[in-house]
Amino acid sequence: MNSLAERKSIPTWLTFLLAASCGIIVANLYYAQTLVGPISETTRLSSSVASLIVTITQIGYVLGLLFIVPLSDLVENRRLTVISLVVVVLALAGATFVHNAGIFLTASLFIGLGSVVAQILVPYATYLSSEEQRGRVVGNVMSGLLLGIMFARPLASFVASLWGWQAIFAFSMVLIALLTLVLSRVLPQRKPTPTLNYRQLILSLGSLFVRTPVLRRRAFYQACLFGAFSLFWTVIPLHLADHFGLSQQGIAWFALAGVGGAIAAPICGRLADKGWTRALTGTFLVVAVFSFLLAVLVKGHSVVGLLLMVVAAITLDMAVSGNLVLGQRAIYSIGKESRGRLNGLFMSLFFLGGAAGSSLGGWAYAQGGWQTAAGLGTVLPALALLYFLTERKPVFSKLKQS
């Protein structure tokens, strides 16, 4: 096996493998979102605590981002990847075969905890790539991750409608086990040269956040956008069922439309390599605002109204996926030996924004319906846009601009 240091650039097949791996892994965070009802019935969770099925998984993921992802700056990356995936396989087995509520929720926590390996593989890909191809590589790998996020909900709904909710967890368990075997054999080794021990590494997160203005700025942009994204996809299934009369499969088909937004990721990576980071950031923030404004304007229940909602879903997903790639390329250009910690901080803030968006969306929909929720969704990217206007061009020129 060739060492990482011997590689000048990442081969295309390995970029594709890492992209596919990230999508397969991160999908585990979202399978349960459309299956809360049947899972809570089987595990006998009351409706008042059924939301824990999703929340516990997200908590596990954030904990992993803060305490496991930084290990990629300390521990050999291939070994860390394999160990994390073994944890995911065991947790998926528990979710599939054990129907006790406590055990299922514990399994959900570990599914989230182990799935952070996706955020180890993204910066790992940048170590394999040259400076000239870094944006393209990040864009391609992130497109795989985003496709996993976007396909997870409709796939879970389709599979559950055919074979029951356990089938999607069983399917994922087998797939992750095979992926673990493949990655353990083909990934090049990457052994960091740490200057800190684990305790110092974790304690350094605070100072890293304070002294890295690009991280704080990009994390705020993305937290606002992912908050808007999560709000939209938390509320839209309820709105489509209540006001358009769509079935679970109809909602799944609608969710598939949003997948089109993932095409922005690889394109943005290439454009970021050419110095378009700042211009694209502003464009995507404006697109996100107008996506929600378009959704607010839909007041009827006509086919035209439904088509406008599809357009809003695609453009919002495009803004979120494109800006995510721009943000990650920016922070990966800061410090070679701290990319794992930078990515952990960036993604944990990103997901906290998403959790806040989901909670606000559910509350707003209960209080005032779709118009209230969509109006609140407009505010989040608008806040990011206002902050973007304070960005000083010299700091972010040509990435070199970021």
The CATH number of the domain holding residue 328 is: 1.20.1250.20
Contact 111, 32 (CB under 8 A): no
Q: Residues 53, 141: one domain? A: yes
pTM: 0.77
Q: Residues 222, 172: one domain? A: no
Instruction: Out of 194, 220, 235, pick the residue that ends a domain.
Output: 194
Q: Residues 223, 102: one domain? A: no
Range of the domain at 304: 207-402
Instruction: Out of 125, 160, 194, pick the residue that ends a domain.
Output: 194
Looking at the domain assignment, is residue 248 inside a domain? yes
Looking at the domain assignment, is residue 199 inside a domain? no
Looking at the domain assignment, is residue 343 inside a domain? yes
pLDDT score, position 168:
95
Tokens, residue 210: 């304070």
pLDDT score, position 397:
40
Mean pLDDT per segment of 10 residues, for the chain of length 402 residues? Answer: 52 91 94 78 72 78 89 90 97 91 92 93 81 75 82 86 91 97 93 81 86 91 91 82 79 78 73 82 94 82 83 90 85 71 84 81 83 92 94 50 38
State which amino acid sits at residue 41. E
Structural domains of the chain, count: 2
